Amino acid sequence: MLATPIDEPPDGNGWAFEIKWDGVRALAFLDEAGTRVASRRGEDTTPRYPELAEMAAAIGGRDAVLDGEVVAFDEEGHPSFQTLQLRMGLSRPETIRRRAQEVPVTYVAFDLLALDGESLLAEPYERRRELLAGLALESDHWRTPAHHLGGGEAFLAAARSQGLEGIVCKRLRSVYRPGARSRDWLKIRARLSQELVIGGYMPGEGGRRGRVGSLLFVNDTATP
């Protein structure tokens, strides 16, 4: 299920608010056979993230399908897509093992799509979240962050103050619609940005030799 971009949090009490994690969307399939991780396009990425292998055992033999993101954290403890790129696209087992030690990842679960063989897609978000919390998925390599009821403006301000990517707003009564971009899920970017056109560059010198030294930007929204 995909979120619709908006600029301001919705009003009213029928919404929950979550952090927008700067990671890679992934489904996690947990059962007696172990843990399988799949990308948004359905690619099996399980071998790429060996630290997630024991997640199935963490729920005591139950079967579950989770929606979430694979996230890497920088030295300051912030989710960082740039850091995660060091783990993406790897295929050689020896490289994966080394990178797993250098750049560990965490699976952040934010939805529960099936439990013990029963589909939860038609259950409201509020109920799915309650069942997800009951799985107690908390460790160094997987977690279920809390969601916040109401107070969207304050939650967005807090995300901005911490330099986080943004927030996601989810209607409490919403069902899960696989593959659909819905207005029951809304996303807001917290980081400040501006559209610019690169007009030119100067090559780097000294320690920056062989790289870009400086860029000339043109404000694409400015009036001539």
Would you name the residues annotated as active-site residues? 20
Instruction: For residues 114 and 66, give the distance between their C-alpha atoms in angstroms, rounded to a whole number.
Output: 7
Show the CA angle centred on residue 61, arms to residues 55 and 64, nearest 5°. Answer: 65
Say if CB 47 and CB 99 are below 8 A apart: no
Residue in 188, 187, 178, 166 with CA at minimum distance from that of residue 38: 178
Strands 105-115 and 34-39: unpaired
The Cα 71–Cα 210 span in angstroms is 31
C-alpha torsion 34→41→85→100, nearest 10: 10
Query: Which residue, 62, 42, 38, is CA-closest to 52?
Result: 38
* E strand intervals along 10-141: 15-20, 24-31, 34-39, 64-72, 105-115, 118-119
Query: Which backbone phi and psi does 163 adopt, to 5 degrees?
Result: 70, 25
